Amino acid sequence: MLTLRQMRYFDALATTRHFGRAAEMVHISQPALSTQIMEMEEYLGAKLVERTRQNTFLTPKGEEVLHYVRAILHQVDLLEQTARKGGGTLEGLIRIGIIPTVAPYLVPQFVPHLRRTYPSVEVELREAVTDRLMADLLTGKLDAVIAALPLDIEGIQTRPLFTDRFFMAVADNGEAVLMSPLTEHEVNVDRLLLLEEGHCLRDQALAVCSAGKRSLVNFGATSMATLLQMVSHDMGMTLIPEMAIPTETSRNSIRILPFTDPQPSREIGLAWRRSNHRGKEMEALAEAIIAVAPAPHELAA
């Protein structure tokens, strides 16, 4: 199926005539953009882009398709503008909390889209672990929180946004040889690296790998970036969320292994106070996040 995401990527490539600059424009990695363009070509059954060492240019069929793509995107923009005139329009300051294992992979796409869709909105972001964010939400310091569900807290309304599957990250040239797809019983828990206490992903990793609540390593990382640097140096292995794969595999020498079905996953959702009079705005915020939710990684297919 041809998607709006692919059309926007194709439009960016046609504008810049450069895969790297187009990827920067739409805030994704260059390999991810290339994959989407190739999938678009495959669906349409036509070569749209010709790439040489010096130049990137559209084929005659690509120029023809571009005319229709831009007409479609223009109509979509008009549709969004019409919808914004109704209920649920986001305006003014909105303070959003987001957990560290989601923020780096969602914010670069989400914030530009939100500002483009709702020009009157002012976004203030705070990154912290779930418990701190929920405390700030309950005391009115935040308007909404993006975190892993469930969040069974009195007075809090939640809405699921997207499913984020888990994979295992190991060193690309590491000594450990693991079969793919992986079962939880094949994970050597003595080599399992974790985020420090307080991160929900730590507990999720322990649950997926059936490791219990014991301390597995002498070092608890404060971020996914640090954790995966350790993995790339073959200091161990770790659970990696699907949404982190495009970014982290482009800057770390790691190998990604899927789990056997049913694949473990987490549900990312939006939370806000039930007493908040901006309920319709929270629904609009949820829709804006869903619109830029990360596409499934090819290893998840």
pLDDT of residue 222: 72
pLDDT of residue 243: 92
**100 and 185 co-located in one domain:** no
Strand partners, 268: 148, 162
Final residue belonging to a domain, choices 23, 54, 84: 84
Number of domains forming the structure of the chain: 3
pTM value is 0.65
Is 50 in a helix, a strand, or coil?
strand
- 136: tokens are 């700030």
- 39: tokens are 């999938």
CATH number at residue 254: 3.40.190.10
Find the domain containing 235 and state its range.
165-265
**155 and 278 co-located in one domain:** yes
Rounded CA-CA distance 24/41 in Å is: 21
**57 and 129 co-located in one domain:** no
Q: What residues contact residue 45 under an 8 Å CB cut-off, 6+ apart?
A: none
**251 and 175 co-located in one domain:** yes
Strand partners, 2: none
Final residue belonging to a domain, choices 51, 84, 117: 84
CATH number at residue 56: 1.10.10.10
The pLDDT tens digits along the chain (301 residues) read 899 999 999 999 999 889 988 998 888 999 999 999 999 999 999 999 998 877 888 999 999 999 999 999 999 888 877 665 555 578 889 999 999 989 999 999 999 999 999 988 999 999 999 999 999 999 999 999 999 999 989 999 999 999 999 898 988 875 555 655 666 656 666 778 887 755 677 777 667 665 444 444 445 667 888 888 888 888 888 888 999 998 888 888 898 888 888 888 899 999 999 998 888 899 999 999 999 988 775 544 4
In this structure, are residues 162 and 175 in contact, taking their beta carbons and an 8 Å threshold? Answer: no
Final residue belonging to a domain, choices 46, 67, 84: 84
**17 and 129 co-located in one domain:** no
pLDDT of residue 204: 73
Q: What residues contact residue 183 under an 8 Å CB cut-off, 6+ apart?
A: 259, 260
Strand partners, 263: none
Q: How many residues are given for the chain?
A: 301
**31 and 118 co-located in one domain:** no
Rounded CA-CA distance 26/19 in Å is: 11
**248 and 122 co-located in one domain:** no
Rounded CA-CA distance 106/288 in Å is: 11
- 82: tokens are 């019409």
Q: If we measure between CA atoms, which residue out of 201, 184, 190, 185 comes closest to residue 236? A: 190
**80 and 151 co-located in one domain:** no
**172 and 158 co-located in one domain:** no
- 70 alpha-carbon distance from chain centroid: 26
Element (H, E) at 129: none
**176 and 254 co-located in one domain:** yes
Work out the angle at residue 14's Cα, subtended by the Cα atoms of residues 45 and 11, and round it to the nearest 5 degrees.
80
Q: Could you list the beta-strand ranges (E) of the chain.
A: 49-51, 56-58, 92-98, 121-127, 144-149, 156-171, 238-241, 254-258, 265-273
Secondary-structure percent of the chain, ordered helix, strand, coil, rounded to 5? 45, 20, 35
**222 and 241 co-located in one domain:** yes
**123 and 271 co-located in one domain:** yes
pLDDT of residue 214: 46
